Structure 1
């Protein structure tokens, strides 16, 4: 039976639906709202993030003093300012994101979502690793650009300490706020930023400037930082997609057994996409040619199955989004034909195909959250206890 407090909670979410905690999703068996008492006010998050950033600044600065003392550091390369900053920023980002999700007010409630409690630690590790990798690869990319802009320049120890401490503090600050405000739409942004930062960093650090004449997977064939960056990006992205499988579909209807079966199928295909994507990075093309090409092709097939089956799997999905998915599948088929006739090279086909698939995944997350918001507004009685 619905109570006055339940109605107030439903109204609160309708006013600000994007702040729903990720482990308290909208479902038929769970409340569609989170009371004001269970959420940290945004001002508290901002203040906590600033204090945490200050601690990171001091801690990294103390370590950097011992590492940098009496040295003039190159901007990029081994033993450089960029390398130390990237490592420090990555660790700070991962730790601060984990802290934001471990606060008691953000713990999963087994009564509202049993799956959330079951997979809490997997989600936490995956998303913490993603935020740490974004900071790591992002600072590597910045260092590479600066090194190419300031050829031969070195940095004295004192400014190096300040720069690396400030970069780590910024990484920790932003990651904490990211974890404090995580939602399916925000997760789509995390996935997009991570992919762009990782792939661009791999391109910038590629030892062979003509890698694009072969294929995109050529970035993962060498044994330098470019190969590590590229393969790490694919592996972590695959883990993120498997996290999306549950988190991003939590707001889908699950009233009837048929609803639950359809949602389980959507999650299964997403997990398959994530596993195949991670395998593309785990098995480089130069050492595992057959396996690499098989999993890459399988990922495209799984994506096509998802798009074609979506009208049945999620009947409430907007028709415009469904049409966009079919358009993307058609575009990928056209790209494959252009490659077969020698008009496009494989790198162009892979880049455009990857852009289409991942942009579809990002838009899927945003549309799924919209469905959950509309459902919560149309059926506030589902929040009854």
Structure 2
């Protein structure tokens, strides 16, 4: 028997059908994580594209925590596949396979010693002699790093995976217009250019830009809040992340360094964590802030005696989308910070250490 279409079936057009069906699921990508995913996709599509330093936080997340299994999740899988693909002429070595994220004991945070700890850190920063790069010179930063590669989706119960600890080296001209990044296994052999015509700012800080920032902590913090308003996460989290990004792969004048730490201490929710370990295995004291959306805590780690900045760590402190508390989602350690005379040159006879 042949079934005849009803009048309604015959007249139902695609527009009406779309109106009747429920709206597609929203992947809930936050701005910073969306930008990070886009960054990695574009780096694979355009090998010579600018590869930003690990800033805007994320730089620590290659895939997103809790992305629903929709188009966004498919895009994330593509990004992960592209990052781990060693085919073609881009590199002679395969990207190291990711490893299971380490899990650590969650140290409590407290505001009891916040004021005194920050004053120690700021005083040490003010007293530390910092070289000033001249025309034609480059700021060199060598780090050991590990960032989150892939995490849960709402249909995937696999454990979070991170990059194995590896070396990352960057060179930046003082004006931020020229640079180089060498990250074996994660960038093409020999490295990639960081040359850019983008104007320097809080999201893309150059040394010359940092010299223009106010050194009054209150004025500085107001500027950070104003210029990051509406970006990424909550205003407090965004302010903390922004200041952290100014510290990680850049060289800042001593007075500004001190002001940045004092400004960070004024952000609601900042605490002192008595024990934290950087990617080089160095234990220190940390200034930290919890991201209430993702459930992880960003820690800036300082030497317990000299109060020098060592590195950073991201630790999950509450379970979100299956990522268990204590999971280390990011780990970095600054091994060397110096001024050198040429791009790709490493510190030595021609460089001035910081």
Comparing both structures, which one devotes a greater share of its residues to helix? Answer: 1
Same-fold call, TM cutoff 0.5: no
Relative to the length of structure 1, the TM-score reads: 0.25
Comparing both structures, which one devotes a greater share of its residues to strand? Answer: 2
Relative to the length of structure 2, the TM-score reads: 0.27
